[in-house]
A and B are shown apart, each in its own frame.
Chain A
């Protein structure tokens, strides 16, 4: 396989490469990954594992699309996606914080539920429809910045959700490391009992952070249906929620790290698609496997677990 790649006409490859296009595509593809990873960071920093992000994104993709379809308004769809993300995350929060359900089980429940519910409602409501979809988000090229030769295309000509993602990376970073809320959150994730004795309401902090992760995940889900294809298909997320978790781990539970890691994964994804068109004769399925295998490698090699927030995954019980 490697021989195949090498055997391809390398100089020709580079000429054809359209690296700028690749970079742009990478940033776009990194959007849902980063958003979900940011959600993961907030949730896990406060001590709650959130593997439900996959299910959240899937459901919010559906809800966002449905809302946009019904109201003929993309913004309404975005809003619906965010709100529904928070609701589902709320369920996860209640189950794991209040009812002490194992957080991984709770997350898995939501993922399965998401598959089921979106499947049922898709079949009943959407499959037969021949209505015109609400379209996708428009591409906004920023006035002066968008005209800069390379950076303009890569950073400043995007759709709304991608811009939101870029801004949120910075915002979440500031929140986690520079605000009172962030300090308390980190305390809850490292040593909830200490936070408790300092007078912090650990449960409340966790609830809010999980809801925030739901909102971020909701936005991530909106990417698929509202930004990317303007439609909804069953299982449209294809495991990206889990890849996002790997990005979070790889990024050592920091927003910027998660963003960079997401870029890596997205690049693998975009590269896979392009290699096909460059005439590299590897079966497409193997190229599609790239992000998944990369995830495994990262999770195995990341040594990340040693730096996870110390109390993550464990419910906090007052005696």
Chain B
């Protein structure tokens, strides 16, 4: 019996740690091939990436700066996954959070920092929350598939931002030469943690968000509802859980976290919002959440990894002409391998476990001994 327990534990270790590690490795391998095909030297590229992320002057603080939004966004997407929802709209919610946050930042005057910052941060969360709640309501009420609605809202969010800031729009700074909002008041700026760097208070917020989300999911009734709905919405409903409300709540929480990321970037890093804002952070976050297998604690190392990659990519592009889009390739491949444990096993001849589709609502490790039958639960109904 001890052997069985150890065997199971080893199996879970394999799934929880080895699988992500191998997936990363494969991701980088594929990226290396892409680099070769485009005519550059992968070793140079990766060395430059590393330098840019860690060893250059101010690299580490910069990496941490890049990590912060990934933590929030990763948590946002992961929360969605736990409820069986695929929140691809983190990008748009990020925008909305930034918009709301920057608005409070430059329109509200005469308020001391101690009040201005929380106000702006909460505004950002509100913006993201609203943008997340819309697809949540559409799904709960009409069964509208969240993949499509969130993606559409992303585009709407871009266009909205474009109108607001570009071309002398309502939120544009008319005195500036480039399309952007006015600078936010000093009282709204997040204090810098490490003088001489851009590392701001947001890091502490991010570090605090992780245990909060974990606690929410594992220790509260709300979290129980979320997990139950994500695992089997039909049974949850039969037991009296309101699936619709749960979906809306989760999308709201997810959106709020994404919005927080957006507000954070404005308040802590740039202090204004340019018309051309994000660079696909919301999509990267999907990779972060998958890499962490929707486990809040694992989001931290995953976010750090992606933060490092993004931070180093700029230097890599400077030094070796390899495009920053390379990061997307790494991500996509990582997602692919994470979501296909069978593929990894097949490639590396790891020991077989009975094949089961990876259920995105589970954290850490695959299903219990008897894999649940592929019966539909709610993904208008959920992912099985």
Contact check, A105 vs B335: say whether CB atoms are below 8 A apart.
yes
Give B322's nearest chain A residue, CB to CB.
A120
- A-B contacts besides A105-B335, A314-B384, 6 pairs, CB < 8 Å: A105-B290, A105-B360, A242-B148, A285-B160, A315-B357, A317-B374
| Contact present for B138 and A286 (CB under 8 Å) | no
CB distance from B271 to the nearest CB of A (A): 25
Q: Chain A: interface residue count, which band?
A: 35 or more
Cβ of B86 under 8 Å from chain A: yes
Q: Does A101 reach chain B (CB closer than 8 Å)?
A: yes
Q: Taking each of B152, B329, B339, B346, which has the highest tally of chain A beta carbons within 10 Å of its own beta carbon?
A: B152
Say which residue of A106, A115, A239, A288 sits within 8 Å of B151 (CB atoms).
Answer: A239
| Contact A106 B339, CB 8 Å, known A100-B357, A283-B163 | yes
Interface 9-residue window, one of B102-110, B139-147, B210-218, B228-236: B139-147
B325 touches A101 (CB 8 A): no
| Chain B contact residues, CB within 8 Å of chain A | 34, 38-39, 86, 88, 138, 141-145, 147-149, 151-153, 155-156, 159-160, 162-163, 169, 280, 283, 286-287, 290, 321-323, 325-329, 331-333, 335-336, 339-340, 342-343, 346, 355-358, 360, 374, 376, 379-380, 383-384
Distance, CA A76 to CA B358, complexed state (A):
40
Q: Determine whether A165 belongs to the interface, using a CB cutoff of 8 Å to chain B.
A: no
CB distance from B21 to the nearest CB of A (A): 19
A116 adjacent to B332 (CB under 8 Å): yes
CB distance from A16 to the nearest CB of B (A): 25
What residue in chain A is nearest B328 (Cβ atoms)? A116
**Are the CB atoms of B323 and A102 closer together than 8 Å?**
no
A305 within 8 A of B: yes
Stretch at the interface among A143-151, A152-160, A222-230, A295-303: A295-303
By the criterion CB–CB under 8 Å, are A305 and B339 in contact? Answer: no
B289 to chain A, nearest CB (A): 11
Q: How far is the CA of A113 from the CA of B333 in the complex (A)?
A: 7
- Is B331 in contact with A120, judged by CB distance below 8 angstroms? no
Q: Is the CB of B142 within 8 A of A120?
A: no
Partner of B152, one of A108, A113, A296, A305: A296
Say whether A278 faces chain B, with CB atoms less than 8 Å apart.
no
When the two chains form their complex, are residues B156 and A289 in contact, meaning their CB atoms are under 8 A apart?
A: yes
Contact of A314 (CB < 8 Å), options: B141, B283, B326, B376: B376
Q: Determine how close the nearest CB of chain B comes to the CB of A67; give it in whole angstroms.
A: 16
- Determine which of B148, B156, B357, B374 lies in contact with A245 in the assembled complex, contact meaning CB atoms within 8 Å: B148
User: Can you name 14 A-B pairs with beta carbons within 8 Å?
Assistant: A99-B346, A100-B358, A101-B358, A112-B287, A113-B332, A116-B326, A116-B327, A120-B323, A124-B321, A285-B159, A286-B163, A296-B148, A299-B145, A313-B379
A208 within 8 A of B: no
A123: contacting residue among B280, B325, B342, CB under 8 A: B325
**Residue A51 is within 8 A (CB to CB) of chain B in the complex:** yes
A288: chain B residues at CB < 8 Å are 159
Complex contacts, A246 vs chain B, CB 8 Å: 148
Which 3 A-B pairs have CB atoms at the shortest separation, nearest pair first? Answer: A116-B328, A119-B325, A113-B332
Chain A nearest CB from B174 CB (Å) reads 16
A292 adjacent to chain B (CB < 8 Å): yes
B366 CB, min distance to chain A CBs, angstroms: 12
- B374: shortest Cβ distance to chain A, in Å? 5
Whether the Cβ atoms of A120 and B325 lie closer than 8 Å is yes
Chain A, residues 233-245, CB within 8 Å of chain B (1/0): the string is 0000011001001
Interface check A177, CB cutoff 8 A: no
Do A120 and B326 have beta carbons less than 8 Å apart?
yes
In the bound complex, how far is the Cα of B358 from the Cα of A88, in angstroms? 22
Q: Which of B155, B162, B342 contacts A292 (CB 8 A)?
A: B155
CA separation between A69 and B142, bound complex, in Å?
47
Measured between alpha carbons, how far is A117 from B331 in the docked complex, in Å? 11
Contact B152 A292 (CB under 8 A): yes
A104 at the A/B interface (Cβ < 8 Å)?
yes
Residues of chain B within 8 A (CB-CB) of A300 are: 138, 141-142, 144, 149
